[in-house]
Amino acid sequence: MRQDRYSRHYSLREIGIIGQQKLSQARVLIIGLGGLGCPLSQILSASGIGALVLVDGDKIEESNLARQLLFGPSDIGKYKAEVARRQLEHLNPDIEIIAHAEYFEKSNAEHLLQGVDVIVDCSDNYKLRYLLSDFSESNQIPMVYAALYKWEGQISVLNFNGGPSYRDLYPNESALAALPSCSEVGVVSSLPATIGAMQATETIKIILGSEEVLSGKLLNYNALKASFYSINTIEKSKVSGEEYI
């Protein structure tokens, strides 16, 4: 482990050498390499997470470049997962980067989840979030959730030590179906970096064993108003995601 690279972590009482060793031994599954996944993966790789598993079946489009800063004009038409892997390997050659240019589905879920300590949802698809949460719950792997809408973002940690799931957070799936996507209503280019960085922080806290994790809470950020507010009453219901797998 390189001493100088992580010296600021070593100075933190909550991390130190032992905490950095925990980070270096962790395996994180990142679903989606868009606006959230790009900054998240950059921070986690730079922070020394031992292995990052990147999953995204999309190819890079010009409209991605304003907020997905791992990619440039010469990458248009290439798979996001493959380009991200090369960029992250350059950023930190001491960690393992595994790229899957495919989508997370029931058929490949168990393979992708093998050995994973944390799942990070960086998708823009509510149906996929239900599926991810269900597998997260059944495999007892915590999931860091986030979503974006215009100038607003939200984040929570799901299925943490038996805590609430995505189905507890949003029990009414039909209500989500009526919401437009970011491609339809837009999103300010700086917002994904802010929320993606917050996802990275929650991921690091989970790996370190912190007691101050956003489980049972939903943190909302309004970039236009520069304001935060938190909902602290998310409760675990009797509905289990395992029933849907």
CA dist 23 and 167 (Å) reads 29
CA dist 25 and 103 (Å) reads 25
Active site residue 38: no
End-to-end CA distance of the chain: 39
Query: Strands 118-121 and 143-149, how do they pair?
Result: parallel
Catalytic choice (65, 69, 182, 197): 182
Helix axes 191-208, 37-46, angle to 10 degrees: 40
Q: What is the number of other CB atoms lying within 10 angstroms of the CB of residue 130?
A: 18
* Six-digit token string for 145: 């959730």
Residues carrying an active site annotation:
182
